[in-house]
Amino acid sequence: MSAIVIGSGINGLVAAAELALKGRKVTVLERLDRPGGAVRTEELTLPGFQHDVAAMNLSMFAGSAFYQAHAAKLAEHGMELVPVNKPFASAFPNDSYFGVSTDIDATLATMKNADDQATWRALMQEFPARAGSLGSLLGSPMRRGALLRTLWRIWRQQGSRGSLEMLQLLLSSPRQWVERNFRDPQLQAALATWGLHLDFAPDISGGAIFPYLESLGSQAMGMVIGKGGAATVTRALVSLIEAHGGAVRYSAEVARIHVRDGATTGVELVDGQTLTANTVLANLAPSGVLRLLPQGTGNADFDTGMQRFRHAPGTMMIHLALDALPPWRVAALQEFAYVHIGPSLDHLALAYQQAQAGLLPEAPALVVGQPTVFDPSRAPTGKHTLWVQVRCVPGEIQGDAAGILNGAWPQVKESYANRVIDQIEQYAPGLSHHILARHVVSPNDLEAENPNLVGGDQVGGSHHLAQNFLFRPVRGYADGHTPVKGLHMVGASVWPGAGTGAGSGYLVAQRL
Ligand SMILES: Cc1cc2nc3c(=O)[nH]c(=O)nc-3n(C[C@H](O)[C@H](O)[C@H](O)COP(=O)(O)OP(=O)(O)OC[C@H]3O[C@@H](n4cnc5c(N)ncnc54)[C@H](O)[C@@H]3O)c2cc1C
């Protein structure tokens, strides 16, 4: 019998592709009229300006086990990646900056402190082996046997000292890691900002790993974006699925998952149509799965765990069509794919805490993406797109930390976007004069388009330690199985979590 995948997010598509490649008959059902979930590219502002609606950085996909296994096939199906040799920088108020280029001497030249330069070099020397071990842990199925085997292998590779250092890193907060290693407060902030791509503000235990991997990984390998936009991956996956006998159906929203005698028998669409299957993969957040199973799964522990699943604070996206790159005070910033704005560790911590408390941060952390620096095909000649990710903002607004704005997202989103543009103007004065058009997406808008992004949570659920590894989405179910026979979960809410790496989709498909 065929398998059904509910949702065409990156994990759903990767799972479907893997099953189709193994000869399984598979149908993907997508509620929108287009595939990809958070990996899509659209003309959001003006004709000819291609904006990555959500994910822009495809490094996690390029580093994924699925890509390693099928890179050639994806290329045959049209996927094109663009390498980025200047992945990220941070702008600081005193017109200084820190920038990571794949040329280590260029990176070191943007550091002010000789001790920090020596530390960076030393960390880079041990990085390949450390990243390999961490990668095997982050790609390990969260089942007891498989995890123990992975940990044993890491112990053999790293020895006692290396393994304990890795454990300390895994438990550390971003602040603990950067302060343990670096002296310059601006450099510390620049590296810790990566934590806020997930929901790791500087003081949250378990948050050091992402800044570590992204900062040093950027040095070692640069970044990768999609040619013409991130949708290059989505299109290739759909084409691969269809070429192997699978189908992707659009405007096909699933309303119910059918269960008989503890096993799934298929799904019902909102139009009443029933499709039978003994294997159903839900590319959904826990709340989405529970909505489709109004009676629950019959397992109280699992159902309660799913109801208590915690989401992270939200994101706002601002997409700009520009007639020139931002006029950064520091001209070198025009050369980087990402420019982070987050001047200090305390600034990042405060902005996150304000969002957690329901307040619009006075000055949020910003990720300013400049994809057209490396891929001019996304805009008409000489023009540019800007991808501004505002981290973090509340899903539901209780107030404004600046004491200015009043109201819910539909009322305040354009004014809050003005605040963000003003914030960028401090580092790039005159930016506003280059804006041809803009498209603002509030956390509400993100969720309305994709119900997985609850409260605009871009990471599909908090990644704090108590909800990660063996506990994601629910203790005992981190390998994606559920108490309903034949029903599995994939997606950002399932171990190994968010990002374009599609780890859960690949792991679940392999287990099946
Ligand atoms: C704004 C933003 C920026 C990001 N930037 C990056 C980045 O630069 N790099 C990176 O690595 N990661 C980034 N991420 C994270 C990453 O994109 C996501 O973690 C990942 O793409 C989520 O994939 P998923 O498999 O969970 O599915 P989703 O993307 O959540 O897709 C799920 C799909 O299921 C569909 N669906 C939902 N309910 C139903 C139903 N009942 N019936 C049928 N279909 C249904 C939805 O319409 C959607 O298409 C970003 C995320 C966001 C939101």
Q: What is the pLDDT of residue 348?
A: 98
Distance CA 165, CA 160 (A): 9
| DSSP-assigned letter for residue 492 | T
Radius of gyration of the chain (CA): 22
Ligand 1 atom 37: residue of nearest CA: 7
For 35-80, how does the pLDDT look when each residue is reduced to its tens digit (9 = 90+)? 999 999 999 999 999 999 999 999 999 999 999 999 999 999 999 9
Residue among 126, 130, 125 at smallest CA distance from 163: 130
Q: In testing the pocket of ligand 1, which one of 4, 29, 31 has its CB within 8 Å of the most ligand atoms? A: 31
Does residue 164 have a pLDDT over 70?
A: yes
Ligand 1 atom 21: residue of nearest CA: 38
- Report the predicted TM-score, pTM, of the whole model to 2 decimal places: 0.98
Measured in angstroms, how far is the CA atom of residue 118 from the centroid of ligand 1?
A: 39
Ligand 1 atom 32: residue of nearest CA: 9
Distance CA 84, CA 280 (A): 38
Measured in angstroms, how far is the CA atom of residue 458 from the centroid of ligand 1?
A: 8
Does residue 370 have a pLDDT over 90?
A: yes
What's the angle, vertex CA 51, arms to CA 227 and CA 235, rounded to 5? 50
Residue among 439, 421, 441, 440 at smallest CA distance from 431: 421
Q: Is 145 in a helix, a strand, or coil?
A: helix
Residue among 345, 311, 91, 369 at smallest CA distance from 201: 345
Q: Which atom of ligand 1 is the closest one to the Cα of 456?
A: 53
For 71-111, how does the pLDDT look when each residue is reduced to its tens digit (9 = 90+)? 999 999 999 999 999 999 999 999 999 999 999 999 999 99
Q: State mean pLDDT over 276-296.
A: 97
Host H or E run for residue 322: strand 314-322
Measured in angstroms, how far is the CA atom of residue 462 from the centroid of ligand 1?
A: 15
The percentage of the chain sitting over the pLDDT mark of 70, rounded to a whole number, equals 100
Looking at every residue in the chain, the average pLDDT score rounds to 97
Residue 451 and residue 244 in contact, taking contact as beta carbons nearer than 8 Å: no
Q: Which atom of ligand 1 is the closest one to the Cα of 315?
A: 1
Residue 201 and residue 348 in contact, taking contact as beta carbons nearer than 8 Å: yes
Question: Nearest 5°: phi and psi at 160?
Answer: -65, -45
> pLDDT tier at 188 (50, 70, 90 boundaries)?
very high
Does residue 330 have a pLDDT over 90?
A: yes
Measured in angstroms, how far is the CA atom of residue 472 from the centroid of ligand 1?
A: 17
Does residue 302 have a pLDDT over 90?
A: yes
Ligand 1 atom 1: residue of nearest CA: 54
Residue 86 and residue 103 in contact, taking contact as beta carbons nearer than 8 Å: no
Measured in angstroms, how far is the CA atom of residue 455 from the centroid of ligand 1?
A: 13
Q: Which atom of ligand 1 is the closest one to the Cα of 13?
A: 25
Residues whose beta carbon lies within 6 Å of some atom of ligand 1: 6-12, 29-32, 37-39, 54-57, 60, 253-254, 283-284, 288, 315, 317, 389, 446, 450-453, 458, 460, 491-492, 498-500
Distance CA 512, CA 503 (A): 14
Q: What is the pLDDT of residue 231?
A: 98
Contacts of 194 by beta carbon, 8 Å cutoff, 6+ apart: 174, 210, 211, 214, 215
For 375-393, how does the pLDDT look when each residue is reduced to its tens digit (9 = 90+)? 999 999 999 999 999 999 9
For 113-135, how does the pLDDT look when each residue is reduced to its tens digit (9 = 90+)? 999 999 999 999 999 999 999 99
Q: Which atom of ligand 1 is the closest one to the Cα of 446?
A: 53
Q: Which atom of ligand 1 is the closest one to the Cα of 498?
A: 19
Q: Which atom of ligand 1 is the closest one to the Cα of 253?
A: 42
Distance CA 389, CA 132 (A): 29
Q: What is the pLDDT of residue 2?
A: 87
Structure tokens at 428: 């790039």
Residue 281 and residue 28 in contact, taking contact as beta carbons nearer than 8 Å: no
Ligand 1 atom 7: residue of nearest CA: 55
Q: In testing the pocket of ligand 1, which one of 368, 452, 495 has its CB within 8 Å of the most ligand atoms? A: 452
Does residue 1 have a pLDDT over 90?
A: no
Residue 360 and residue 354 in contact, taking contact as beta carbons nearer than 8 Å: yes
Measured in angstroms, how far is the CA atom of residue 115 from the centroid of ligand 1?
A: 41
Residue among 215, 383, 129 at smallest CA distance from 207: 215
Measured in angstroms, how far is the CA atom of residue 441 from the centroid of ligand 1?
A: 15
How far does Cα 259 stand from its chain's mean position? 32
Measured in angstroms, how far is the CA atom of residue 335 from the centroid of ligand 1?
A: 28
Would you tell me how many other CB atoms lie within 10 Å of the CB of residue 174? 31
Q: What is the pLDDT of residue 459?
A: 98
Buried/exposed code over 434-464 (b: 16+ C-beta within 10 A; e: otherwise): bbeebbbbbbbbbbebbbbbbbbbbbbbbbb
Beta bridge mates, 289: none
**HEC-encoded secondary structure of 74-131:** HHHCCCCEEEECCCEEEECCCCCEEEECCCHHHHHHCCCCHHHHHHHHHHHHHHHHHH
